C-alpha cells in the first residue's frame, strides 16, 4: 500500500526505528572517526544523542506531525553530544520549524522540511566543511526535490540511495578521509538514520554493521591516524547547557565565544542554550556562559586522551574504539537529566515496590509524579535496591562506551546497593569495573558523580579517581530538614517518641550525613521559616573561610519554591559565580523524607 502522508504516529515510529538503527552502528562509526579529530567517539556521541530522542518519544502519543517533530528536536538539543550530535540537532530544529502547526504532511512537504533542516544547520556553522554530515544532508534534500514522488516508500528508497552515493564521495572532498581510506563518520551516522526508517517501512530487521571488510571487527582506523596538531590547536572538547528565560540570541553567543577556540556550534531552542567548542580554556567558556543563564551541565574532554585510547585499541587489536572511562551511578544520586546526558552517565534505577508491581525509579515514575502521590492519600511504595542483574546490564551498556567503568554509588551505610553492585562487578569480565562508595546520597552523591566524570574527561587514570573522590568527600557534606516525621518514622530513621514530640512542638530537625554516610542530628528549629535560617547557619559553619572551590546542590520534595531563596542566600555568602545544581528528590529519596523536605549539599574541591 502506498504511504501518502506522514502524521504524528507515523513520524514517531519512523524516528524510533531510525534511532535504533543508528545506535547499532556505534562501534563502526567510532572505528572510522578521523575528522575533525581522530578520537573515536562519533558513534558514541551520535548514539547518546539519538538515545535521548528515542527515550523522549517512547511515551509520546501526539497525533500532529508538528508536535512529534518538535519533541524530537528538543530532545536532541537536550542530549546532543559532539559535533555530529549538535549538527543533527540543528537539522531537526529546522525540520520541526518548517512543519510547525501541521497535523500531517505529504512527500513534497517532507522534502521542504529536509531543506529547512539543512538551511538551519548551514546558517549555524562558522566555517562549514564539505565532505561531512552537512554535505550528505544537503545532497539528500536536493535529491528529494529533483524527483517528484507521491509515495513515502518510493521517496525514502530514493533518499537512501542518494545519501549512500553522497557518503561514498566524502573522501573526495575531505583529504583527512581520503588519507585514512574511510568515509565521514558523522555523515554515515545520518545515512544510518535514513536506513533505519526505510527498514521499518520495508519490514526489514534492524541490524548493526557486520564484521567483514570495513566492519567493527577490524582495528580502529582513528588509532592509526596521528593527532592533527597543525589543524586542531586546542585540547578540550567543551560542551555546556544553559537554561534561562532571557537567553541571548544564538548569533550573539556565537560571536562572543569565537575568541575561545574553534569547532564552535551554538544551539538555541526556547529556554535552552547549548554550546560545543574546542578550546584550551573551558573554565573561561563556562564563566562567560554563566552571565547568560543557569549553567545546568558542562563538560571538558581531553581530546588527546581520547585519541590515545583509540590508539591503544588499535595497537591491542581490540577492534573497538572507546573512551578511556565511562561513569555510572544509581538513581539515588538525584542527578537531573541534563547532567546525565551531558556527561553520558549510565544510571541503574533504584526500585519502588507496591504489592505485586515494581517501579524503576526515574524510569517508570518521575520525581514530580511521585511528589504528587506523596501529597495524596495513596499508599507510598517501599524501596528496594537494584539486583546484581540490574548492575550487570548497566555495566554492559557502560562498557560499550569506555575501556573502564567507574561507579559512584549510594553510601553502603544507607543501602545495600553497593554490595549488590560489588556482586555484579565480580561476575563482569567485559571491562574493568572500579566502584566507589560515595558515603552519601542525593545531590552530595550526585556532585561526586559529576566530579568523577570531569576527572575522567581530563584523562585521569581509574585508580586515581577513587582516592581523589575520597579526599573531596571528607570535606563535603549534605544537610537536610523535613516538614513532618512520618516518612522518617516509617523508614526507621527516627524513633516514635522523638517523632511525636517533634510534631507536637513543630520542631524541624536539621540532619546531616556524617563522614561514614550515616544520618546525624545537627540542630533543630521551631517552624519552617526558622529551619531555613538554622540550616544555612550550619552550612556556613561547615565550610572553612577562604575556601576557593566549592559547589552546591539544592534538593527538595515537592517544594520547588525553596530553590531560589536558598540559592540567593548561598550566592550572597559565596559569590554570584558559585555553581549551584538544583533537582527534585528522586522517588527513592523522597519516600524516606516526605513531602516538604529539602536540603543542601556542598562539595569542597580545594
Most confident of 9-13, 226-230, 233-237: 9-13
Q: What is the pLDDT of residue 502?
A: 45
Domains of the chain: 6-222 (1.25.40.340), 236-306 (3.30.70), 322-473 (3.40.50.10170), 477-604 (3.30.1180.10)
Q: How many C-beta neighbours within 10 Å does residue 153 have?
A: 15
Q: Residue 497: which pLDDT band, with cuts at 50, 70 and 90?
A: very low
* Mean pLDDT value of segment 446-467: 96
Name the nearest CA neighbour of 303 among 324, 274, 328. Answer: 324
* Local confidence band at 310 (pLDDT 50, 70, 90 cut-offs): confident
Which band of pLDDT confidence, cut at 50, 70 and 90, is reported for residue 308? Answer: confident
- Taking alpha carbons only, the member of 161, 15, 155 closest to residue 74 is 15
98 vs 592 pLDDT, higher one: 98
Per-residue pLDDT, averaged over 59-83, amounts to: 95
Helix (H) or strand (E) segment spanning residue 256: helix 250-257
Q: Where are the alpha helices (DSSP H) in 407-441?
A: 417-427
pLDDT in tens, 333-381: 999 999 999 999 999 999 999 887 899 998 899 999 999 988 886 777 8
| 99 Cβ contact partners less than 8 Å away, ≥ 6 residues apart | 65, 66, 69, 105, 109, 113
* Distance in angstroms (rounded) separating the CA atoms of residues 57 and 71: 7
pLDDT over threshold 50, residue 480: yes
pLDDT for the residue 496: 46
C-alpha to C-alpha distance for 239 and 226, rounded to whole angstroms: 24
**pLDDT at residue 197 in the model:** 97
Averaged pLDDT, 319-328: 81
Predicted confidence (pLDDT) at residue 534 exceeds the cutoff of 50: yes
| Count of H-run helices and E-run strands, the chain | 24, 19
Report the SS3 class of residue 389. Answer: helix
Question: If pLDDT is split at 50, 70 and 90, which confidence band does 213 have?
Answer: very low
Q: Summarize the confidence of residues 473-480 as an average pLDDT.
A: 97
Q: How many Cβ atoms from other residues are within 10 Å of residue 561's Cβ?
A: 10
| Overall average pLDDT of the 267-293 stretch | 94
Region for 401 from its dihedrals, namely left if φ exceeds 0, alpha if ψ lies in -120 to 50, beta otherwise = alpha
pTM above 0.85, yes or no: yes
Mark 210-235 as b/e (b = at least 16 C-beta within 10 Å).
eeeebebebbbbbbebebeeeebebb
pLDDT band at 281 (very low <50, low <70, confident <90, very high): very high
Residue 290, SS3 per DSSP = helix
Q: What is the pLDDT of residue 488?
A: 58
pLDDT at 378: 73
User: Residue 257: which H helix or E strand, with range?
Assistant: helix 250-257
At residue 38 the predicted structure's pLDDT band, cuts being 50, 70 and 90, is confident
**Dmax (CA) of the chain:** 79
Distances (CA, A) of 86 to 263, 274, 503: 11, 8, 52
For residue 31, is it left (φ>0), alpha (ψ between -120 and 50) or beta?
A: alpha
Question: Distance between CA atoms of 475 and 97, rounded to whole angstroms?
Answer: 49
**In angstroms, rounded to a whole number, what is the distance separating the alpha carbons of residues 519 and 453?**
27
Q: What is the mean pLDDT of the chain?
A: 91
Q: Which residues, including other chains, have CB under 8 Å from residue 273's CB and lie 6 or more apart?
A: 241, 242, 243, 244, 247, 250, 253, 266, 267, 289, 292, 293
Q: Please state, in angstroms and rounded to a whole number, the distance separating the CA atoms of residues 260 and 234.
A: 9
Fill in the DSSP letter of residue 228.
Answer: -
Going by pLDDT thresholds of 50, 70 and 90, the confidence category of residue 212 is: very low
Is the pLDDT confidence value at 474 over 50?
yes
CA distances from 318 to 27, 112, 134 (A): 11, 44, 31
Q: Is residue 558 within 8 Å of residue 375, measured between CB atoms?
A: yes
**How sure is the predictor about 228, in pLDDT bands with cuts at 50, 70 and 90?**
confident
Lowest mean pLDDT among 192-201, 210-219, 551-560: 210-219
- DSSP E strands: which ranges in 416-537? 433-437, 477-481, 507-513, 519-526
The per-residue pLDDT for range 542-580, each reduced to its tens digit, is 999 999 999 999 999 999 999 999 999 999 999 988 999
Q: What is the 3-state secondary structure (H, E, C) of 162-212?
A: HHHHHHHHHHHHCHHHHHHCCCCHHHHHHHHHHHHHHHHHHCCCCCCCCCC
Going by the DSSP 8-state scheme, the letter that residue 365 receives in this structure is B
Q: HSE-up of 93 (CA within 13 Å, CB side)?
A: 26
**Residue 478, strand partner residues:** 601
Q: Is the Cβ–Cβ distance between 425 and 391 less than 8 Å?
A: yes
- Average the pLDDT over 82-108 and give the result: 97
Question: Taking each helix axis from N to C terminus, what angle separates 133-146 and 185-202, rounded to the nearest 10 degrees?
Answer: 40
The whole-number average pLDDT for the span 147-163 is 95
Mean pLDDT, range 470-498, rounded to an integer = 75
Assess whether pLDDT exceeds 50 at residue 269: yes
Give the pairing of strands 402-409 and 550-556: unpaired
Q: Where are the alpha helices (DSSP H) in 32-184?
A: 42-58, 65-79, 82-98, 107-124, 133-146, 152-173, 175-180
Q: Which residues contact 491 (CB under 8 A, 6 or more apart)?
A: 591, 592
Could you tell me which residues come within 8 angstroms of residue 149 by beta carbon, excluding any fewer than 6 positions away? 107, 155, 158
Residue 204: the pLDDT is 84
Of all residues in the chain, what percent carry a pLDDT higher than 70?
92
Once rounded to an integer, what is the mean pLDDT over residues 284-295?
94
Q: Which of 133-147, 400-414, 479-493, 586-600 has the lowest mean pLDDT?
A: 479-493
Cα(309)–Cα(146) distance, integer angstroms: 44
Q: At what angle do helices 563-574 and 528-542 cross, to 10 degrees?
A: 30
What's the pLDDT score for residue 309?
A: 75
Residue 211's pLDDT band (cuts 50, 70, 90): very low
Amino acid at each position: 500500500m502506498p504511504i501518502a502522508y506522514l502524521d504524528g504516529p507515523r513520524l514517531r515510529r519512523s524516528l524510533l526505528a531510525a534511532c535504533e538503527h543508528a545506535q547499532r552502528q556505534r562501534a563502526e562509526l567510532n572505528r572510522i572517526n578521523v575528522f575533525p579529530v581522530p578520537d573515536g567517539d562519533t558513534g558514541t556521541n551520535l548514539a547518546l544523542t539519538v538515545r535521548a530522542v528515542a527515550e523522549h518519544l517512547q511515551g509520546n502519543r501526539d497525533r500532529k506531525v508538528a508536535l512529534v517533530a518538535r519533541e524530537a528536536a528538543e530532545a536532541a538539543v537536550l542530549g546532543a553530544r559532539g559535533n555530529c550530535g549538535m549538527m543533527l540537532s540543528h537539522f531537526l530544529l529546522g525540520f520541526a520549524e518548517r512543519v510547525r502547526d501541521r497535523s500531517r504532511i505529504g512527500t513534497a512537504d517532507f522534502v521542504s522540511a529536509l531543506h529547512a533542516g539543512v538551511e538551519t544547520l548551514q546558517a549555524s556553522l562558522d566555517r562549514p566543511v564539505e565532505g561531512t554530515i552537512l554535505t550528505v544532508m544537503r545532497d539528500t534534500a536536493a535529491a528529494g526535490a529533483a524527483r517528484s514522488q507521491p509515495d513515502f516508500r518510493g521517496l525514502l528508497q530514493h533518499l537512501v540511495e542518494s545519501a549512500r552515493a553522497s557518503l561514498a564521495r566524502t573522501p573526495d572532498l575531505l583529504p583527512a578521509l581520503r588519507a585514512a581510506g574511510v568515509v565521514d563518520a558523522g555523515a554515515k551516522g545520518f545515512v544510518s538514520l535514513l536506513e533505519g526508517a526505510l527498514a521499518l517501512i520495508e519490514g526489514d530487521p534492524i541490524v548493526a554493521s557486520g564484521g567483514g571488510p570495513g566492519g567493527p571487527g577490524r582495528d580502529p582506523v582513528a588509532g592509526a591516524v596521528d593527532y592533527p596538531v597543525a589543524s586542531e590547536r586546542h585540547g578540550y572538547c567543551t560542551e555546556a547547557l544553559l537554561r534561562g528565560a532571557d537567553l541571548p540570541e544564538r548569533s550573539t553567543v556565537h560571536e562572543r565565544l569565537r575568541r575561545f577556540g574553534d569547532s564552535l556550534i551554538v544551539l538555541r531552542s526556547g529556554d535552552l542554550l547549548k554550546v560545543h567548542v574546542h578550546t584550551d580554556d573551558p573554565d573561561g567558556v563556562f564563566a562567560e556562559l554563566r552571565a547568560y543563564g543557569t549553567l545546568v551541565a558542562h563538560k571538558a574532554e581531553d581530546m588527546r586522551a581520547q585519541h590515545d585510547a583509540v590508539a591503544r585499541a588499535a595497537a591491542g587489536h581490540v577492534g573497538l574504539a572507546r573512551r578511556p572511562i565511562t561513569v555510572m551511578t544509581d538513581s539515588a544520586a538525584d542527578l537531573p537529566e541534563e547532567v546525565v546526558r551531558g556527561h553520558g552517565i549510565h544510571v541503574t534505577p533504584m526500585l519502588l515496590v507496591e504489592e505485586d508491581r515494581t517501579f524503576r525509579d526515574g524510569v517508570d515514575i518521575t520525581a514530580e509524579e511521585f511528589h504528587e502521590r506523596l501529597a495524596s492519600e495513596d499508599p507510598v511504595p517501599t524501596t528496594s535496591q537494584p539486583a546484581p542483574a540490574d548492575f550487570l546490564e548497566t555495566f554492559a551498556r557502560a562498557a560499550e562506551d569506555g575501556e573502564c567503568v567507574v561507579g559512584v554509588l549510594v553510601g553502603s551505610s544507607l543501602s545495600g546497593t553497593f554490595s549488590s553492585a560489588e556482586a555484579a562487578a565480580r561476575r563482569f569480565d567485559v571491562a574493568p569495573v572500579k566502584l566507589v562508595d560515595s558515603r552519601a546520597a542525593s545531590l552530595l552523591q550526585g556532585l561526586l558523580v559529576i566530579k568523577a566524570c570531569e576527572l575522567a574527561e581530563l584523562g585521569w587514570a581509574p585508580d586515581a579517581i577513587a582516592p581523589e573522590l575520597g579526599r573531596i568527600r571528607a570535606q563535603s557534606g549534605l544537610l537536610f530538614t523535613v516538614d513532618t516525621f512520618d516518612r522518617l518514622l516509617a523508614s526507621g530513621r527516627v524513633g516514635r517518641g522523638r517523632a511525636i514530640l517533634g510534631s507536637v512542638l513543630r520542631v524541624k530537625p536539621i540532619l546531616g550525613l556524617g563522614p561514614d554516610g550515616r544520618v546525624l542530628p545537627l540542630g533543630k528549629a521551631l517552624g519552617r521559616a526558622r529551619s531555613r535560617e538554622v540550616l544555612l547557619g550550619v552550612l556556613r559553619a561547615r565550610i572553612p573561610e577562604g575556601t576557593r572551590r566549592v559547589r552546591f546542590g539544592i534538593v527538595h520534595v515537592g517544594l520547588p519554591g525553596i530553590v531560589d531563596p536558598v540559592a540567593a542566600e548561598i550566592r550572597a555568602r559565596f559569590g554570584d559565580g558559585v555553581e549551584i545544581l538544583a533537582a527534585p528528590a528522586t522517588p527513592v529519596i523522597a519516600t524516606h523524607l516526605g513531602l516538604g523536605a529539602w536540603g543542601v549539599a556542598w562539595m569542597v574541591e580545594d
